[in-house]
Structure 1
């Protein structure tokens, strides 16, 4: 096949993925909508149980120990909190999951076809980075879903992927071209790939962090009938968000270190105060501050999560603004 054919097939796969993931988003939204009544009923039963005097529970068989076990179960993660699902909810979740798998395969195909078109690892401009970043985000979600029930998170992962894919195909698309001499290095595959994986995991962590802040405020007000009643507790959401950041931060640290090594080989210095270098370091500092705050006694987890979200804002600015409007040695957007 010719390079033109590869380009057409890559674009077709990307647009097909957008269509499939849009249907997955709708299915996940329907799943959450059908899940709501059972979730509300379970929370009302739990509230009534906790309101029962302890001496009455002792006679039933457990008392305070039973409360302690319930607390531990609630903190274990969202799987332990999910209510019994209706047939409609299970069907919608199954459709959403199947479509997500199909969409992931289509995005992987789009990346592979782009690589065949350009005869290299496709990370030479913003379009390719967005395409590969979408792939890793979906792969991270799918891989994690094989270990725990994350169907409730599907819509919150698929939506940002759709935004990135749609923008990549309509705004950031760049015709295949040869890499600049400084990019023709094995470090491209190492440095930029790890950076893309880190950003993909940061994206999931940001979604979880945002959901946690909303859920925490609703729980503080005693709300049980809101949309968020369909999701895990604030405590479970915060723990999951923290877990994702613990995985992503070392990857970003590796990205910054390897970038300095590559800069020494390509430009003769480990650090050149290039806008991209500066913003990458700013991202590292903000996420380091989040992890430090999260582990520091006296810091509220809500405030620490706000720092994490600020870090993700820096990630978005680094990609969508610095790449386009800042001139430097990393001006490889292709736009």
Structure 2
């Protein structure tokens, strides 16, 4: 059985399914454009005056909720009822597209897990020997963390950015980063390599979920500040709740990333005879660590909570991805074996 071929086929399938899930969640956001727009009926009537009316051309009229004259045989609340009905239909569509998106995400997750497992069987080792293998494994952990949050805490609101990330990540893996199965280079024959990679994958998944939550937090916070929370933003948790979710994910990831850097140093001593050599990959891992350390410090300082801390979290996520992709593609170093 050609495990390598079926592994690639499973990853390509996952890319397609994740794209369908992304489109479904995009439709979920688009279907919510009517939500949160209509004001309560009693508020509208208070603004125009209950019972206000006039007579035009001998026909008794009453003032409607939009300020227009309505015949008295049409209930004053007809406009509100129609708007409420439209909002209920939109809400039903939002839920439907959201459930379809979750189902497709689960199918894509299973396909990507199969791809990673088959890649490991084809290589006869843990599938983390190059950038392609690390990418598809990292996407598995990111989506797994998201699905766990959906199951345990109902956080479907992260569906669009997570499926976008999974589709792009796996898509880059199969089109740009792909390499054929090959034996590990001597530097990777160490148990500390496996420990280093597992810690990096788990902390990276948490960094991504926390960073995406921070992006949505800024969108919701801006809408709340303008008093224009409508559409899908009206279905998101409060900005305070989203800020807390991001903080918990990043607070969980930071110690793991610290351990990742430490384990990498021990592995470097085994492979190259020194714990730290300012290799570009090592240096940027330290930069990422410093940024997230600043984030946690900002969270503990009252004047830097909220939006400022969220911006630091997003910078940290960008630094993580530059360390993961940019360094490998743009800079040569001792980690160049992990290139494409």
Verify same fold: TM over 0.5. yes
1:100 and 2:97 correspond? no
Q: Distance in 2 between matches of 1:137 and 1:40?
A: 34
Any gaps of 5 or more consecutive residues in structure 2? 44-87
1:63 corresponds to: none
2:17 corresponds to: 20
> 1:198·1:248 contact (CA, 8 Å) conserved in 2?
yes
Q: Distance in 2 between matches of 1:86 and 1:292?
A: 40
1:69 corresponds to: none
Relative to structure 1, the CA distance from residue 231 to residue 84 in structure 2 (aligned partners, 3 Å threshold; closer, same or farther) is farther
Deviates more, 1:297-306 or 1:228-237: 228-237
1:171 and 2:196 correspond? no
Instruction: Give the one of 312, 327, 332 matched to 1:322.
Output: 327
> 1:36·1:230 contact (CA, 8 Å) conserved in 2?
no
Any gaps of 5 or more consecutive residues in structure 1? 49-82
Q: Distance in 1 between matches of 2:214 and 2:312?
A: 10
1:198 and 2:203 correspond? yes
Q: Which secondary structure state, in structure 2, belongs to the residue aligned with residue 232 of structure 1?
A: coil
1:133 and 2:130 correspond? no
Q: With structure 1 as the length reference, what TM-score do the two structures score?
A: 0.83
Q: Which secondary structure state, in structure 2, belongs to the residue aligned with residue 147 of structure 1?
A: helix
> 2:16·2:167 contact (CA, 8 Å) conserved in 1?
no
Structure-to-structure mapping, 1:239-318, within 5 angstroms: 239-318=244-323
2:215 corresponds to: 210
Instruction: Give the one of 13, 29, 34 matched to 1:32.
Output: 29
Measured after TM superposition, the shift of residue 102 of structure 1 is: 0.8
Q: Distance in 2 between matches of 1:314 and 1:274?
A: 16
- How many residue pairs are counted as aligned between the two chains? 298
Deviates more, 1:84-93 or 1:27-36: 84-93
Q: Which secondary structure state, in structure 1, belongs to the residue aligned with residue 149 of structure 2?
A: helix
Q: Which secondary structure state, in structure 2, belongs to the residue aligned with residue 164 of structure 1?
A: helix
Measured after TM superposition, the shift of residue 88 of structure 1 is: 2.8
> 1:324·1:333 contact (CA, 8 Å) conserved in 2?
no
Measured after TM superposition, the shift of residue 210 of structure 1 is: 1.0
Q: Distance in 1 between matches of 2:89 and 2:207?
A: 31
> 1:28·1:151 contact (CA, 8 Å) conserved in 2?
no
1:11 and 2:8 correspond? yes
2:52 corresponds to: none
- 1:275-319 Cα distance to aligned partner (Å, 9 max, x none): 111111111111000000111122242111111111111111111
Q: Distance in 2 between matches of 1:231 and 1:39?
A: 11
Measured after TM superposition, the shift of residue 231 of structure 1 is: 2.4
Q: Distance in 1 between matches of 2:138 and 2:164?
A: 14
Structure-to-structure mapping, 1:64-83, within 5 angstroms: none
Q: Which secondary structure state, in structure 1, belongs to the residue aligned with residue 303 of structure 2?
A: coil
Instruction: Give the one of 235, 255, 262 matched to 2:240.
Output: 235
Instruction: Give the one of 156, 162, 177 matched to 1:151.
Output: 156
Measured after TM superposition, the shift of residue 39 of structure 1 is: 4.1
> 2:206·2:249 contact (CA, 8 Å) conserved in 1?
yes
Q: Distance in 2 between matches of 1:283 and 1:187?
A: 21
Q: With structure 2 as the length reference, what TM-score do the two structures score?
A: 0.82
